[in-house]
Amino acid sequence: MVKDSYGTRLGVGRRRLLQLTAGTAAYLAFMRSGFPFAQSPSGLAKFVQPLNGLGPTGIPVATPITSGGVDRYRVEIGQYNNYQFHPDLPPTTLWGYADVNGGVTPNHRYLGGVIVARRGTPVSLTVINKLPNKHPLPVDNSIGGADADQAVNRTTTHLHGGLVDWTSDGGPFTWFTSAANWATGTSFLNGTGVLGEARYYYPNDQSARLLWYHDHAMGTTRLNAYAGIASAYIIRDDIEDFLIAGQLIPAAAQEIPLIIQDKTFVSGLDPNYTWGYRGDLWYPFKYEPNSESAAGLGRWDYGPDADQPGSINGPLPIPSAVPEFFSDTPIVNGVAYPYLEVEQRHYRFRILNGSQARFYNLQLYCDDGRGDANLNAPGPALIQIGTEAGFLPLPVKFTDQQITFDPDPNSPTFGNATNYNLVLAPAERADIIVDFSTVPAGSRLILFSDAPAPFPVGDSRNDYFTGDPDLTSIGGAPTTARGFGPNTRTLMQFRVKARTGAADPASMNALAAIAIPNTPRQPHSPVVTGNPLPAVAAHSVNNAMRTRDLTLNEDFDSLGRLIQMLGTNLSNGTNTQGMVTFSRSYESSPTEVADAGTTEIWRVFNLTGDTHPIHFHLVNVNVLSRQVFDVNQYFADATAHPGKPVAPKFLAPAYGPDGNERGFKETVRMNPGECTTVIMKFDLPQVPFDVPPSTRFPGIANAHEYVWHCHILEHEEHDMMRPLVVTGKKLV
């Protein structure tokens, strides 16, 4: 296996967990791609434009009109083409939000309409659909919910991480269209009486945290989010005010969101791509089977391949959904390869991984003087103080750990990440503090990531960096020139300048002084005195009413395409290839039904070769443990005892969560060949109106309809999502 300049593996391969005979390895690597994914136009120089901050010249903040103790927002979702991600790109056609309060003509800006809320002050959000009925990206009508007779401008708004009633959750079936297309198959619930509008109510009975709101429409979520229908939502509270007033955490100009995504732009060289012009967003439109390359180097397994015989229904469509998509250009706050000037003081960064599928292993290094990271010159530590579910019980310190993997091919977790720095999967957030006060003025630092894609094993064609090998012969990109893209490792640059005014007080170092190292698999959290962060009252396992065993699965759809699905520990017959499967589609009968107010433990067994970021609507969870199990035995047990719950065989003792997972979470990384155990309590929010029951499940009384799913968007959409139904008091 060849190495690149950072020591990362360059194998063109990805693991899948297959049902192998007893005694064989649980993983089988398979080669990828003889077909080229598009590459963005060459020559995009790095670090030539500043980072967008919050405010009129950067990312707009939405304006509420307050009445009756409620902050009322109105945003419009529309198409616009006046935004450039890079000076050397033409304007890009995008879909996104824009603030329209006060009758102001919408001014669409990328990530527009950030909402800053206050705990205890509800928000009423009215969303107006002004989208055209022609999508700027390829729509696959074979995906559930995206049927050819449906309008393509369907949308719904999900407050990701919000504690909201189910009719305001923005579930996949609560979509609505523009007024012009209203007669085309709408299934929306809470309209405003005006065609093309919807209203959502957010109680904001949650602690301070970074949430985000984004599209969740059935069949087009992955496309709508990639096209730009997403923005940030910040909740503030008295505890955060106390930390700021005590000068324990930075505020004002030293508090900066970092929304990290990756994009690919149309180069104008592909005559088969008819969904955009040069500079517009590119999205894959062809499923690339291994069998279509003479060398067997397609990107994905295909059901009817000779080694996986089975029946399918019809040929592959074009455009077609794909199992995953990794772009070639990092975007931070809507800017490709930005730089940020920072003074010699502390900064607070609120980081969101808003990518489709790419993980990030965030590290900070000195610039080598030529725009790349000097991996022998680490920058200041990253001090994490919060996750997507609020403040951590203890701050956690990261000091630039490049990613390493289990190297033993005989190990059941061969290829899994073993050491890493601040890893963020799609939808995860991190609230961090960085102290630049001791960094010499004039220094430049690089925010760096070496996480492979897919995670954890990776495919070298998804990894772009200065001097990388020319991979055009296997569908990859040519060598990246120094100072230019594509480069998915150097995300942004910090430029340190001399401090103006007084130095930060010593109190700003208090959290760093008590921070614990984020050693993976550490046995326990130490007791620390003088911790100013709020206590986290975790769920008690003694209160759990039941334990569920659930599964993460790879399968094939009726067209033979590789898909990811959720399931239980009961086999669900055989798939199109005659293999035992646990997979259940989103629209099959609910299996995760819980009573409001109860607590449950979920053991989730990952039978696939990917780490999946599993996102739970409604609830926040505590990660209890992870434990390696025998995947082959799991399938063997299901085969030998059909219809019976699988009795897993664990291969090692359970280990605890990472230091930065010891608070609450709503998006949890679940690794291949491991059982991830979480605990959750199904509390429904208090709202000042009657909530109707869901009519989608007539056999379940008083059903509040939520979902749980993988937040790799291509996985979620096809078909790694299941209902999460909470039964409550008698409803109207």
Averaged pLDDT, 551-570: 95
At 188, the pLDDT band (50, 70, 90 cuts) reads low
Q: What is the DSSP string of 428-445?
A: -EEEEEEE-TTSPTT-EE
568 and 653 housed in the same domain: yes
218 and 183 housed in the same domain: yes
Q: Is the pLDDT of residue 522 over 70?
A: no
At 159, the pLDDT band (50, 70, 90 cuts) reads very high
Which of 263-267, 508-512, 571-575 bottoms out in mean pLDDT, i.e. has the lowest?
571-575
Residues of the chain with pLDDT > 90, as a percent, come to: 79
Question: CA 712, CA 576: separation in Å to the nearest integer?
Answer: 24
If you search the block for the tokens 């990805």, which residue do you land on?
14
Q: Is residue 330 part of a domain?
A: yes
Phi-psi region of 167 (alpha: psi -120 to 50; beta: other; left: phi over 0): alpha
Q: How far apart are the first and last CA of the chain?
A: 62
If you search the block for the tokens 């001014």, which residue do you land on?
107
Query: What tens digit of pLDDT does each residue of 375-431 get?
Result: 999 999 999 999 999 999 999 999 989 999 999 999 999 999 999 999 999 999 999
Q: Residue 721's pLDDT is what?
A: 98
Q: Is the pLDDT of residue 34 over 70?
A: no
Which of 82-86, 240-244, 310-314, 647-651 bottoms out in mean pLDDT, i.e. has the lowest?
310-314
403 and 462 housed in the same domain: yes
| Residues in a beta bridge with 367 | 373
Domain region containing 412: 13-44+325-517
Which of 5-9, 189-193, 265-269, 485-489 bottoms out in mean pLDDT, i.e. has the lowest?
5-9
Highest mean pLDDT among 23-32, 408-417, 523-532: 408-417
Which of 102-116, 197-211, 457-471 bottoms out in mean pLDDT, i.e. has the lowest?
102-116
Q: Is residue 283 part of a domain?
A: no
Average pLDDT, rounded, for the chain: 90
Cβ atoms 703, 173 nearer than 8 A: no
492 and 587 housed in the same domain: no
At 43, the pLDDT band (50, 70, 90 cuts) reads confident
Question: CA 355, CA 360: separation in Å to the nearest integer?
Answer: 10
Identify the residue with better confidence: 58 or 599: 599
Which residues does 271 contact at the CB level (< 8 Å), separation at least 6?
none
Q: Is residue 426 part of a domain?
A: yes
At 178, the pLDDT band (50, 70, 90 cuts) reads very high
Q: Is the pLDDT of residue 21 over 70?
A: no
Q: Residue 151's pLDDT is what?
A: 92
Q: Residue 245's pLDDT is what?
A: 98
Query: What tens digit of pLDDT does each residue of 317-341 get?
Result: 999 999 999 999 999 999 999 999 9
Which residues does 376 contact at the CB level (< 8 Å), separation at least 6?
none
Question: CA 310, CA 557: separation in Å to the nearest integer?
Answer: 11
467 and 561 housed in the same domain: no
Q: Residue 553's pLDDT is what?
A: 97
Cβ atoms 721, 172 nearer than 8 A: yes
Averaged pLDDT, 29-56: 76
Q: Is residue 551 part of a domain?
A: yes
Q: Is the pLDDT of residue 32 over 50?
A: no
Question: CA 74, CA 143: separation in Å to the nearest integer?
Answer: 31
Question: CA 707, CA 722: separation in Å to the nearest integer?
Answer: 6
Q: Residue 193's pLDDT is what?
A: 83
Question: CA 411, CA 670: separation in Å to the nearest integer?
Answer: 18
Q: Residue 474's pLDDT is what?
A: 83
Query: What tens digit of pLDDT does each residue of 59-100 get?
Result: 999 999 999 999 999 999 999 999 999 999 999 999 999 999
Question: CA 53, CA 161: separation in Å to the nearest integer?
Answer: 23
Averaged pLDDT, 127-156: 95
If you search the block for the tokens 């449950």, which residue do you land on?
600
Q: pTM for the full model?
A: 0.94
39 and 69 housed in the same domain: no
At 308, the pLDDT band (50, 70, 90 cuts) reads low
Q: Residue 518's pLDDT is what?
A: 87
167 and 223 housed in the same domain: yes
CB count in 10 Å sphere of residue 3 = 9
Which of 28-37, 144-153, 321-330 bottoms out in mean pLDDT, i.e. has the lowest?
28-37
Q: Is residue 467 part of a domain?
A: yes
Cβ atoms 490, 48 nearer than 8 A: no
419 and 568 housed in the same domain: no
228 and 124 housed in the same domain: yes
Mark which of 483, 517, 551 sits at the end of a domain.
517
Q: Is residue 602 part of a domain?
A: yes
Domain count, the chain: 3
Of 281, 289, 425, nearest to 362 by C-alpha is 425
Residues of the chain with pLDDT > 70, as a percent, come to: 91
Of 673, 567, 36, 29, nearest to 301 by C-alpha is 29
Averaged pLDDT, 22-38: 38
CB count in 10 Å sphere of residue 463 = 27
The DSSP letter of residue 480 is B
At 13, the pLDDT band (50, 70, 90 cuts) reads very low
Mark which of 207, 236, 265 sits at the end of a domain.
236
Q: Is the pLDDT of residue 31 over 60?
A: no
Averaged pLDDT, 242-249: 98
Query: What tens digit of pLDDT does each residue of 274-306 get?
Result: 999 999 999 999 998 877 765 657 788 888 875
503 and 572 housed in the same domain: no
At 25, the pLDDT band (50, 70, 90 cuts) reads very low
CATH of the domain at 108: 2.60.40.420
Cβ atoms 503, 345 nearer than 8 A: yes
73 and 26 housed in the same domain: no
Q: What is the DSSP string of 160-226?
A: ET----GGGS--TT--B--GGGTTTT---S---SSTTEEEEEE---S-SEEEEEEE--TTTHHHHHH
Mark which of 203, 219, 236 sits at the end of a domain.
236
Tokens of 673: 């060949």
Query: What tens digit of pLDDT does each residue of 646-664 get?
Result: 999 999 999 999 999 999 9
Averaged pLDDT, 201-221: 98
The DSSP letter of residue 59 is B
Question: CA 465, CA 330: separation in Å to the nearest integer?
Answer: 12
Q: Is residue 184 part of a domain?
A: yes
Q: Is residue 121 part of a domain?
A: yes
Q: Residue 574's pLDDT is what?
A: 85
Q: Is the pLDDT of residue 502 over 60?
A: yes
338 and 475 housed in the same domain: yes
Averaged pLDDT, 248-265: 97
